[in-house]
Amino acid sequence: MRRCLYFAISCFSILNFAPSHPVLAQEQEKPAIAPIPRTINLTQEQRFIIKENLKDLHLPKASSNAPETIGDVVPQTIELHSLPTEAIRKVPQARSHLFFMKENNAIVLVSPSDRRVADVIR
């Protein structure tokens, strides 16, 4: 009997504090934006090959706040470089991409047509 009484009081309390109007969360949310698809898909082995071919290059490095999210536009102030011939020979699908290196040693592959980040090799 006590259980029924506690249950009834709990239900009444919940109903008493419930909002008097329905919550319209979906109307207030922003529409989802699909992520920009990758323009290159590399295997771990291909990433390793590119990283090994670039590790001894002495190129200026972009600051740590340079973009590295796929789809982000790379500012004109960041100089882009072509991949070395050996890297292109071993990973031909990277031929059409440029790159820059960041201070944290991340290699950022960029689509030259729209200067968007295509992939990041860490």
Task: Return the pLDDT at 64.
Answer: 87
Whether 110 contacts 116, CB under 8 Å: yes
d(CA 110, CA 112): 6
- For the chain, the domains span 44-121
The pTM of this model reads 0.70
Query: Looking at residue 39, what is its pLDDT?
Result: 73
CATH number of 44-121: 3.10.450.160
Instruction: Report the chain (122 residues): mean pLDDT per 10 consecutive residues.
Output: 53 52 56 69 96 93 93 96 96 96 94 95 94
